[in-house]
Each structure stands twice: as C-alpha cells, then as structure tokens.
Amino acid sequence: MASKSTTITTKVMSAIMVTSITVLLFTCAAFITYEFVSFRSTMARSLETRADILAANATAAVAFRNELDARELLASLRKDPHIVDACLYDKDGRVFATYPETAPPASFPTRPPRQGYAFESSHLVIFQPVVQEDRWLGTLYVRSDLLAINERYRLYAILVLSILGGSILLAFALSNSLQKRISKPILDLAAVVRQISERREYSARAEKRSDDELGFLTDAFNDMLAQIQQRDGSLRDSEARMKAILDSALDGVITMDHDGRISAFNPAAERLFGHARSTAVGAVLADLIIPPTLRERHSSGVARYLATMQSTVLDKRLELTAMRSDGFEFPAEVTITRISQEGPPTFTGFIRDITERKRAEKEIRELNDQLEQRVIERTAELEASNRELEAFSSAVSHDLRAPLRSIDGFSKALLDDGREILDPQCQGHLTRIRAASQRMGLLIDDLLNLSRLSRTEMRRETVDLTSLARQITAELKQTQLDRDVIVTIEDGLIVEGDTHLLRVALENLLGNAWKYTSKHPTARIELVRANTGAEHVYLVRDDGAGFDMAHAALLFRPFQRLHRQTEFEGTGVGLATVQRIIHRHGGRLWAEGTVDAGAAFYFTLWDREPA
C-alpha cells in the first residue's frame, strides 16, 4: 500500500514537474533564440554605425590618399578590443591603410563589395563605402570577433540555469504542497479501505475534505459503507437468529456436503449422538451416525442421487435407525432436505429420536390388541350367553311341551279307552285338561316366537305393505268363507323394512281386526296411510269389538288381554309382538278404541334410527 500511495504522490508530482519544466524549457529556449537573433543584429548595426562614422571621417584621407591620416583614423578602433583588424580600400580596391598598422595588406579580402556585413565562423565582417557628395571614394573594411556574443551567451546560460533551477525548486515545493490536496483524500480513503478490509470495521468512515469529485467519491464510499454496515448487521442478526434456532432446536440438525462430510452439527445433534460438534464437523457422516449395516445403502443412495438428481428420500419423513457414539442404535425420524440448489449440493437432515414414540406406539398396539382380545372375549361371552338363551329356548320348546303332550295324549287315551266306564262329568274334566294343556302349548309357542323376534337379524329392504296386507286378508278370508267383511287396503304403501317382520306385524294387526269383528254380522277392515305433516302414519282400523281407552296402556304388554278367553281366543302376545317389530323399525305404535265401535292401530316407521 505504501508503494502505491507513493506512486500516487509521485505520479501527481511528476506530472506537475514535467509540465512546469517543459514549459520553462520552452520559454528559455524561445528567449535565448530571440536574444541571439536580436543581439547579432544589434551588434551588426552598432559596428555599422561605428564604420559609418569612421567612413565619413575618412573621406578626406581617402580622397587625398593620405595614408597617415588614414592610419590614425583606423587606430581609433583600438578602443574596442573586439575589433580584430580593419582596412581602407581606395576606389580601385587597393588597400592603402590597415589596422593594426602591421597587418599585411594580403590578409584582407581582395575585391571588397561596396557595402554589407556578414557573419563568418567567428567574426563579423563589415564593408562600409566611403562617399563624398554621392561620389564613391573607397571602402572601409572592419572585422570584429564574436567574443561579445559568447560572453552574452555565457551570461544567458547562467541566467537560464539559475532561473530553471529556482523554478524547479519552486515548482517542486508548490506541487508538493498542492498534490496533497488531491492525494490526501485518496490516501485517507485508501487507509479507511485498508482498515475495513483488515479489521472488518464497517463503522469506519472516510473524512470528506472537499466538494469536488473526491468529495463525491468519499460520500459515495461512506454511503456504501453505511449500506454494507446495515446489511452486515442484518446478516449478523439473521445468522444469530439462525444459530439461536439451531442451538435451541430439539431436533438434531446436521448438514452434510456432497462429499458426505459433516459441515454443521447443532447442540441437539450433540446430545442425540453423543459426539461433540468439534469432532463431528469434518467427519464422514456415514461413519459417525449410521449403523455399519446400513452404510452401504446410504452411500449408494447418495451416489445415485448425485448421478441422477432424483431421490425417493428427500423431503419426506423417514423412519431410520441411527447410531450413537457408544454404538447404541435407536429409531429416528429423519427428514433430509437439499439446501443449495446451485453448485454441488449440500444436505441438511433433521433428526428426532423416536424411541419414546415407538414405545408408545407399541404400547398402543398392545393395548389395542388387549382391547381386541377383550372384545373377542366379551363377544365370546355374549355368544355363550346367546347360546345359553338358545339352549333355554330349546329346552322350553322341547322339555315343557313334552309333558303337555303326555297330559293331552293320555287324557285322550283315557277318554278313548275308558269311554265305557267314565261318566259324562269325568269325560268333561278330561276335555278341560286337554284344552288347558293345548292352550299352554300355544302360549309357549308365542313366547318363543316373541323372544325370537328380538334375536333375529333384521334386513332393510323395500317392502310392499299393500301387497302383504292383501295376501294376509285373502288368507284370513279363506279360513272363514262365510263372513261378510269389506277389506280396504290403500294402494302403493311402499316402505323400507324387514319383509318377514313386517308380515308378522300385519298378520297380527289384521288378524286381530278379523278376530274382533267376528261377532258382528258385517265388518269393515282398513289399512290406510294418513299423513300428518312430513310424517307417514299407517293405520289399521276395524269396526269390531273395540276396547275401553282406560285400559289402552295394557294392550301391548305380553299375555295381557282385554277380553275373556271365552269371548275371543288368544294368548295376549300378538300386540306385544307388533310393538317389538315396530320398535325395531324405529317407529311408534299406539291405539285408539271405543267399546263395540272398533279399534284403530297407528304406527310409524323410521322416526329414528333403531338402537
């Protein structure tokens, strides 16, 4: 830097010096040239003047060829030491007087021109005509040396050199102080730059010294510095934040370059793997944290990615096995992301120890298995209790009926075999025994059917109630062809439900209607749909025996009857059965009746989803 700054100073100074010296030299050269030319002409004129005066004085001497006077005249030239020699020519061009007197006439030029001067190599020669009243008498010849010029030259040389020397010194001094005005701000700027580049102190500022381009440069530089300082600050902030995030992250964050070496290793990773950051950074990732059995897969995976730039593992949650510094292997959830999208790729992995989660999952799985096992057990228990119920039903069905059959059968046998010996009263008793046992058989059957209703699986299908009801009433008519019953079944009663169960329900309702109108000579039985709002209500109505509404609540209880057995046969299970079927269809069942004026049974379906 020092040499450079010197160079700037030197450059500025040498520019000034070269300029000023060149100007000076040109000036001096012009001056000397001018002086040289003007001095020669001055010298020539001065010698001419002197020769002119001498020639005028020599007129008489020449006219009269008075050699003595002529010599004396010429001798006056002695006062000027530069006059080398002189002579006078007569009008024939012959030398008749010389100066000095001893100078041989032959040393003077023959045939002199009438007038003129000439600079010879080291002399100035003048020919001056000697004239009297326009009559040319002869010629004066004077030769002077040029020592005066040489002296003048020497003087000039000394003068020029001293001026030049002084000027150079002055120029140097001036330029030295003036160049500082240019180089100082530049050097200051350079110093600031050096300081910044050496110490990274972006807070430093260059001092502005002027409002010229350098000032502008300084301002621009300072402005740039301010921006850099700001960006440096935000970069530092951002880096600090990033570091804080990485440091406080609960997941291990590890960055790997394309060579597979670790370039970043956060504290969580240190805790997770038991490696210090200092040892981890620079180490080969695979050797450090991947179990030996999986390294081959890892390296081939990385190689494949680098070759094809296609990966099945990037940016996904993976469950892998990782290895701690003590060789212990643990399950880890790993997400790998490629960081730099240009140039050789680096990869960052986010790693989480999922041992606990795995354990919890296992626990949940086990609990689930236990639960399933328990469900299986409970189901088995339920099935067992169902089986028990079945066994009970079977037992009731079989074992209770068998004695009844014996009672009835042997009563009959007694009636047949003892016809001769039994009186009518005894036969009547036996008949009663038989009736009672047969009735009990019916009760048992109805009871079993009722319990079966609750157990059988229900299907949900489209059921044509109209068609069902018509079949049932047709069958009823077949049992008693002599009865006068008007049956009205509404068309198009299509519902959802279990065909078999709904048939049983209708059989009971229509069968009841048929039964309880049997005491009337004519009867009406109806099945219609009444709409109350959005709800469909189905209605089975007859004009038969009816019932007292005071007892309506008893209607649907099993084995509960509102009529005597001698009036209308029955077990009292029918309406209980209907109610159970309607309930299984998510509906309601209710009844209205008037004694001897008929009964009406209303039901709905699917008010709610069945339990």
Among 39, 330, 410, 568, interactor with another protein by CB under 8 A:
410
Regarding 418 and contact with another protein (CB under 8 A), the answer is no
Regarding 250 and contact with another protein (CB under 8 A), the answer is no
CB of 441 to another protein, least distance (A): 3
Q: Residue 553 corresponds to which tokens in the numbers above?
A: 């609540």
Of residues 3 and 479, the one with the C-beta less far from another protein: 479
Angle at Cα 164 formed by Cα 158 and Cα 168, nearest 5°?
A: 145
Q: Which stretch binds another protein (CB under 8 A): 17-25, 194-202, 392-400, 602-610?
A: 392-400
Q: Which stretch binds another protein (CB under 8 A): 123-131, 353-361, 434-442, 599-607?
A: 434-442
Q: Which stretch binds another protein (CB under 8 A): 17-25, 430-438, 523-531, 591-599?
A: 430-438
Report whether 90 contacts 108 (CB < 8 A): no
Among 18, 276, 413, 528, interactor with another protein by CB under 8 A:
413
Closest CA to 322 of 381, 273, 387, 385: 273
Taking residues 347 to 386 in sequence order and writing x for each that binds another protein by CB under 8 A, - otherwise, the string is ----------------------------------------
CB of 499 to another protein, least distance (A): 17
Q: Three-state SS for 16?
A: helix
Of residues 181 and 405, the one with the C-beta less far from another protein: 405
Regarding 128 and contact with another protein (CB under 8 A), the answer is no
Closest CA to 140 of 98, 198, 191: 98
Distance CA 255, CA 264 (A): 5
Report whether 537 contacts 603 (CB < 8 A): yes
Pairing of strands 329-338, 317-323: antiparallel
Of residues 353 and 446, the one with the C-beta less far from another protein: 446
Q: Which stretch binds another protein (CB under 8 A): 272-280, 394-402, 481-489, 502-510?
A: 394-402
Omega before residue 291 within 30° of 0, cis: no
Among 9, 179, 437, 579, interactor with another protein by CB under 8 A:
437
Q: Which stretch binds another protein (CB under 8 A): 132-140, 388-396, 490-498, 550-558?
A: 388-396
Regarding 67 and contact with another protein (CB under 8 A), the answer is no
Contacts of 304 (CB under 8 A, 6+ apart): 310, 311
Regarding 175 and contact with another protein (CB under 8 A), the answer is no
Regarding 397 and contact with another protein (CB under 8 A), the answer is yes
Which residues in 468-550 belong to E strands, given as ranges?
Answer: 484-489, 494-497, 522-532, 535-542
Among 445, 464, 490, 592, interactor with another protein by CB under 8 A:
445
Angle at Cα 131 formed by Cα 129 and Cα 132, nearest 5°?
A: 170
Among 44, 193, 313, 440, interactor with another protein by CB under 8 A:
440
CB atoms within 10 A of CB 247: 11
Distance CA 357, CA 363 (A): 9
- What stretch of H or E contains 352? strand 347-353
Regarding 235 and contact with another protein (CB under 8 A), the answer is no
Regarding 438 and contact with another protein (CB under 8 A), the answer is yes
Q: Three-state SS for 522?
A: strand
Distances (CA, A) of 469 to 242, 309, 515, 544: 81, 75, 15, 18
Q: Which stretch binds another protein (CB under 8 A): 165-173, 439-447, 582-590, 594-602?
A: 439-447
CB of 489 to another protein, least distance (A): 30
CB of 569 to another protein, least distance (A): 14
What is the DSSP-derived secondary structure letter of residue 596?
T
CB atoms within 10 A of CB 73: 22
Q: Residue 230 corresponds to which tokens in the numbers above?
A: 């700001």
Of residues 16 and 407, the one with the C-beta less far from another protein: 407
Distance CA 90, CA 96 (A): 7
Of residues 437 and 512, the one with the C-beta less far from another protein: 437
Regarding 441 and contact with another protein (CB under 8 A), the answer is yes
Distance CA 354, CA 82 (A): 123
Regarding 213 and contact with another protein (CB under 8 A), the answer is no
If you search the block for the tokens 């008075």, which residue do you land on? 66
CB of 456 to another protein, least distance (A): 8
Among 232, 333, 390, 592, interactor with another protein by CB under 8 A:
390
Of residues 23 and 395, the one with the C-beta less far from another protein: 395
Closest CA to 264 of 288, 246, 291: 246
Q: Which stretch binds another protein (CB under 8 A): 96-104, 217-225, 364-372, 393-401?
A: 393-401
Judged by CB under 8 A, the chain residues 449 through 508 that form the site for another protein are 452
Tell me the helix, strand and coil percentages in the chain, rounded to 5: 55, 20, 25
Regarding 394 and contact with another protein (CB under 8 A), the answer is yes
Contacts of 470 (CB under 8 A, 6+ apart): 489
CB of 531 to another protein, least distance (A): 38
Of residues 41 and 449, the one with the C-beta less far from another protein: 449
Number of H helices, E strands in the chain: 15, 17
Regarding 266 and contact with another protein (CB under 8 A), the answer is no
Q: Among positive and negative, which fits the CA dihedral 305, 308, 311, 312?
A: negative
Regarding 10 and contact with another protein (CB under 8 A), the answer is no
Regarding 446 and contact with another protein (CB under 8 A), the answer is no
Q: Three-state SS for 593?
A: strand
CB of 452 to another protein, least distance (A): 7
Of residues 54 and 414, the one with the C-beta less far from another protein: 414
Q: Among positive and negative, which fits the CA dihedral 142, 144, 149, 155?
A: negative
The footprint of another protein (CB under 8 A) covers 390, 393-394, 397-399, 401-406, 408-413, 434, 437-438, 440-441, 445, 448, 452
